[in-house]
Structure 1
Amino acid sequence: MAMNTTDVAAVRSRPMTAEEKKVILASSAGTIFEWYDFYLYGSLAAIIGAQFFTAFPEATRNVFALLAFAAGFIVRPFGALVFGAMGDLIGRKYTFLATILIMGASTFLVGLLPGYQSWGVAAPIILIVLRMAQGLALGGEYGGAAVYVAEHAPANQRGYFTAFIQTTATLGLLLSLIVILMVQGYVNGNYPDQPILDAAGLATSNPDGTPAMMKAFNAWGWRIPFLGSIFLLLISLYIRLQMNESPAFKKMKEEGSQSKAPLREAFGQWKNAKIALIALLGLTAGQAVVWYSGQFYALFFIQNVIKVDSFTANVLVAWSLILGTGGFLFFGALSDKIGRKPIILAGCLIAAITYFPVFELLTKTANPMLHAAHQTPVTVTVDPEDCSFQFNPTGTSKFTSSCDIAKASLSRLSVNSTTVEAAAGTVATVKIGDTEIASYDATKVTGDEAAAAKKAFDTAVNDALKGAGYPMVAADNTTVAKAEGFFDIFTGQKLTIVAILTYLIILVTMVYGPIAAMLVELFPTRIRYSGLSLPYHIGNGWFGGLLPATAFAISAQAGNIYAGLWYAIVVALMTVVIGAIFVPGGTHKKDIFSDANN
């Protein structure tokens, strides 16, 4: 005989049994492995970009590599629709099995996929297809995990227990970083450097005629973490097979109250669609940009903008994740007492207010020489009509005007500059201190003349920047942060960097710790999996997943390494305003087993 709503609520209010805790921890462990698979690409985006996008201009490789990373996020809402409907129709458990199989197989195949030199344009296309498969799987994973845990947890501890699911994304990233660091250290320490090949597969040379080389990890060692994920897949499958169906779904099935068309009910009826829209704009959009700014963009910024080597950057971010991850559980538990809404919106607001000074402090601490050089005035005088927005996601656009060439060159070197408008037809010039350098229009020169013009411009810019104090060669920059090993963080500089990054992670835990419980409480049981999955994955997949590529492009266009932060700040402030007005409070007191109360 099925229990009534009051009976179920009473059962859910008691402490969790050891078996229920085991089920929830097992669910969290499986989700950690799935996030590990997904984040491997993000952690190795620059290295993978060099392997698969060598046909594209060097200036656009980082953006294109990040877009391939974002491809996994673009399709996440579609995965939310497909697997959300499955979860509401056939159950949470079997949907979990499908998502982990797709994720694990896609990750393993990335490790096997030949590079551009072997398969040509097919290689990057297949890579992005595999990324999309990962995104589809993840689109079905999160909603199921959040619903599954919430429907097992005691009513007065939903925030705390669902916070374990919230830790899985960060722990998955941490696991990926640790595996990368271990493999990178072993491969580079035991195997010789490899020659750098051009798009035709031929060895390249440095300007002085010596062979251009890359570390063995960059050449082939990066594949090992992807191939090794097959073992995590087997473990995850075993874990998922031990799980039981959630009590709320079983109760609903026994009563015959399942939705026959969960997608139509969730998004075709305004009373439910309205909740999804409010959840997206008033919660998940702001949560997403704070989350990705604090984890992925921070890692990208350290490596590619302020020029800290990848090993050191991974070590510093890994330590911040270790130190900050407990915040998920703290803020999840706190939300059980004071509510979810005030904590999430406070995190968004604090992030919006502090991002600019925090990222500038990060630059000043991690690369003092670069920060000091930013005090030298650099201006780019251009005809505005000569300038393009230098975002090239397909790799097919060519930026050849004198303005584009000048701005692209400064952006690659992390130079802050000011743009001055000039009369129509003016050839762009770059002024560094007292030195003025004329750019060139690549459409008006060809062959040897074009190569000579490029070399002359690049040499003049590099010499002027070096004279202005810019660290043009890593070997000459003795001030940049450098870690020789995982535990080499105990200097004032590196501890300060870890503290800054940990602060960013704490903001992540504020917005992300309570979000699962909040979303579960907004939707009735019969459409809960579908209802919460779509706004979550649009927010995190589109607003969040596209953040690194968008921020990088904005900074390049604006001529300022911090300009890309405006994207996160504007979205976070939008969420604060919409959330404060439209998101209901007091959801932590709700009975999620009674659809009538939702």
Structure 2
Amino acid sequence: MTAVAVASHASGMTSKDKQVIIAASLGTVFEFYDFFLIGLLAAEITKVFFSGVNPTAGFIFTLLGFAAGFMLRPFGAIVFGRLGDIVGRKYTFLVTILLMGVSTFVIGLLPSYATAGLAAPVAFILMRMLQGLALGGEFGGAMIYVAEHAPQGRRAEWTSWVILTAAVGFLLAVAVIIPLRLTLGGDAFTAWGWRVPFIISVALLGISLWIRLKLDESPEFKRMKAEGKASKAPLGEAFGQWKYLRLILVGALCILPAQAVIWYTGQFYSLFFLTKVLRVETLTANVMLITATVLTAPLYIVFGALSDRIGRRAVYVTGYLLCAVLTVPIFQAITHYANPGLERAQIETPITVVANPEECSLQFNPLGTSKFTTSCDVVTDALAKLGLSYSSEGATGAGKASVKVGDLAVAGYAADDADAAAQKARFEGELKAALTKKNYPLGPAAEDDINRPMIVLLLCVLLSFGTITFSPTTTSLLEMFPSRIRYTAMSFPYHLSAAWFGGFLPATAFTIVAATGNIYSGLYYPVAIATACFALSLLFARETKDVDISKG
């Protein structure tokens, strides 16, 4: 509802203009609310739908369930993009919001594995696939609908309201889950309370449908249809003509990847880093991230309006440069203010893994189909999951890898050893004892040591990179294409980048951390993407702010 309140005071808008922005924005808030519930309730969902299968199959099902929503988004963009260019913007995003709402509501009603067996995880994955398809058509449609109503010179400012809804959807999901979890308690919430956020989403669906049904089709689409200029084959035109395919490639490979990883780094990886690496209590970390999200939300509008004045490219490449230069120092500062004991221990008593390099694998396994069983893989994975940095020391021969904590050594083991279970228990016990002796804090970060105001400030800076880049990039993308293929041509590169570059950020970052032994090295991924897109955008992206989108 924040968008409603602020939009109602926007200068230079008629009541009809405000209705267009509010309707598109509220619908997209609902879409992102649904989409974020899955990630925020991952632990409960895993227990309900995947706990009954064997560990390997369960792990694969879990990853497929969470990845399906990302992987299907580009296909949803193609399916609904084509529909939006042929039938219309309004009717297409009515279909997508209905599809998202129904699939989300059904997730709240699905039987558990204990009740339905394998049918439970299969049904969950199918619903998650429908969510991904729906979001692939929704966001582009809402953006285009608002842009085609916006006056020349204020297009990015207007579309910023739709973009703002991604953050508002996240806030709404958290605002429902946290009080519910605290009210019901952990056991009741895990047993049945996690279903409530999914089930009550049907009320949001009803409100969103009611508002959107009152809207007219976009004036640009009506004009195009009246003049007989609509495309009969938007897919063939968008992907079959080099002049448009080239622009799709520029968007998908030069502009949008950085925007995706920057936003996901701020909104999601920061929370993972605080809770899993620095071991800040989950509620404390969520409150700090929520506070930073609220404080930075108006910046989407600020930087959208700025790009209307000075140009899209100048604004978003500045965001890319800031991300490339400041991301790692920001996370290092977050460590200092969130868990100074961990920072001090790693400086005073560094950890070393001694192993034969030939035994050490690159542990990139997004689909969960590979197994890493050597002693090097086992010990590096254990340290990565503990959020501990380490250096590597080469060893020769066939001996097992070991971990040195200062002058204390702990022998490793291989996962395929005959007594692997006993060795695992022995290794974990000895490692914990060595870390404790060297003053490594293994429990939750001490509440008294957490400097909350400084962490919120750092998170605000980190999240601001997303606000600088999101509106200018997506508005520029829709301005690249003529009206007759805009829905198709804009939606596909956006969702491809969001899904494949942003969606695989956690898996890629964890792989880099495990391979290098540096808790900050996972950030090399967003930094590298931002650096590459900074250069590629300067070389290949053109300025679009003065384009008349009613032409062509």
Instruction: Answer yes or no: same fold by TM over 0.5.
Output: yes
1:143 is matched with: 140
Mapping for residues 236-315 of structure 1, pairs under 5 Å: 236-315=208-287
TM-fit CA distance, 1:51: 3.9
What pairs up with 1:391-540 in 2 under 5 angstroms? 391-446=364-419, 450-474=420-444, 477-479=446-448, 481=450, 493-540=451-498
1:396 Cα deviation from its structure 2 partner: 4.6
Tell me, what secondary structure is at the counterpart of 1:374? helix
Deviates more, 1:507-516 or 1:68-77: 68-77
Change (3 A) 1:178 1:60: farther
Relative to structure 1, the CA distance from residue 471 to residue 50 in structure 2 (aligned partners, 3 Å threshold; closer, same or farther) is farther
Report the counterpart of residue 549 of structure 2 in structure 1: 592
C-alpha distance 125-352 of structure 1, shift in aligned 2 (>3 A): farther
* Contact in 1 for aligned 2:157/2:308 (Cα 8 Å): yes
2:449, 2:48 → 1: CA distance?
27
Could you say what the CA RMSD is over the residues aligned between the two structures, in angstroms? 2.2
Is there any run of 5+ residues in structure 2 with no aligned partner, and where?
A: 1-10
C-alpha change, 1:116 and 1:388, in structure 2 (3 Å) is farther
Secondary structure of the corresponding residue to residue 437 of structure 1: strand
Matched, 1:386 2:359: yes
Cα gap change, 1:310/1:53 in structure 2, threshold over 3 Å: closer, same or farther? Answer: farther
Q: Which amino acid aligns with 1:314?
A: N
Q: Distance in 2 between matches of 1:177 and 1:299?
A: 13
2:52 and 2:372 mapped to 1: Cα distance? 15
Matches within 5 A, 1:55-454: 65=62, 68-188=65-185, 194=187, 216-375=188-347, 376-446=349-419, 450-454=420-424
Distance 1:150 1:162, change over 3 A: same
Opposite residue 91 of structure 1, the aligned amino acid is G
Distance 2:109 2:449 in 1: 35
Distance verdict in 2 for CA 1:360–1:383, change over 3 Å = same
1:234: how far off? 1.1
Confirm or deny: 8 A CA contact 1:372 1:469 kept in the other structure: no
| TM-fit CA distance, 1:554 | 2.1
Counterpart residue type for residue 254 of structure 1? A
Deviation of the 1:478 alpha carbon: 4.7
Aligned residues: 541
Contact 2:70 2:499 in 1 (8 A): yes
Question: Any conservation in 2 of the 1:46–1:65 contact (CA below 8 Å)?
Answer: no
**Quick check: 172-181 or 368-377, which moved more?**
368-377
DSSP-derived class of the 1:222 partner: helix
2:510 is aligned, of 547, 552, 555, to 552
Deviation track 1:82-140 (CA, whole Å, cap 9, x = no partner) reads 00000000000110111011111111122223344444444333323222211110100
Equivalent residue for 1:200?
A: none
Instruction: Report if the CA contact (8 A) 2:63-2:368 is conserved.
Output: no
CA distance in 2, matches of 1:478, 1:329: 35
Cα distance in structure 1, aligned partners of 2:485 and 2:193: 44
Which residue does the alignment assign to 2:24?
27
TM-score by length of 1: 0.86
Q: Distance in 1 between matches of 2:118 and 2:449?
A: 37
How far the C-alpha of 1:315 sits from its partner, in A, is 1.0
Report the equivalent of 2:525: 567
C-alpha contact (below 8 Å) 1:306/1:414 kept by paired residues: yes
Change (3 A) 1:480 1:329: same
**Secondary structure class of the residue paired with 1:114:** coil
233 and 43 in structure 1: CA distance in 2 versus 1, 3 angstrom threshold: same
Deviations 1:236-292 (CA, angstroms, capped at 9, x unpaired): 111221111000000001111100100110111001101111112221111111111
For the 8 Å contact 1:378–1:433, the answer to whether it is kept is yes
Q: Secondary structure at the match of 1:379?
A: strand
Query: How far is the alpha carbon of 1:480 from its aligned partner?
Result: 5.5
The yes-or-no answer on 1:42 pairing with 2:48 is no
Consecutive unaligned residues of structure 1, counting only runs of 5 or more, are 1-13, 195-215, 482-492
Paired residues of 1:369 and 1:479 also in contact (CA < 8 A): no
CA contact (8 A) 1:328 1:510 kept: yes
Matching residue's letter, 1:81: I
**CA distance in 1: counterparts of 2:423 and 2:164, whole angstroms:** 52
1:59: how far off?
11
What is the TM-score with the length of structure 2 in the denominator? 0.93
8 Å CA contact 2:101–2:202 kept in 1: the answer is: yes
Residue 7 of structure 2 corresponds to none
SS at match of 2:392: strand
Q: Deviations over 1:53-102 (max 9, x none)?
A: 44689899999856643321111110000000000000001101110111
Name whichever of 43-52 and 251-260 sits farther off: 43-52
The verdict on how the C-alpha distance between 1:18 and 1:127 changes in structure 2, with shifts beyond 3 A counting, is same
Letter in 1 for 2:421: A
The answer to whether the Cα contact below 8 Å between 1:31 and 1:165 also exists between their aligned partners in 2 is yes
User: Residue 397 of structure 2: SS of its match in structure 1?
Assistant: coil
Is 391-400 or 283-292 further displaced after alignment?
Answer: 391-400
- Secondary structure at 1:112 match in 2: coil
Tell which deviates more after alignment, 40-49 or 92-101. 40-49
Q: Following the alignment from structure 2 to structure 1, what is the Cα–Cα distance between the partners of residues 485 and 371?
A: 47
Q: Structure 1 residues 47, 568: closer, same or farther in 2, change over 3 A?
A: farther
Whether the 8 Å CA contact 2:474–2:494 is kept in 1: the answer is no
**Residue type matched to 1:337 in 2?**
R
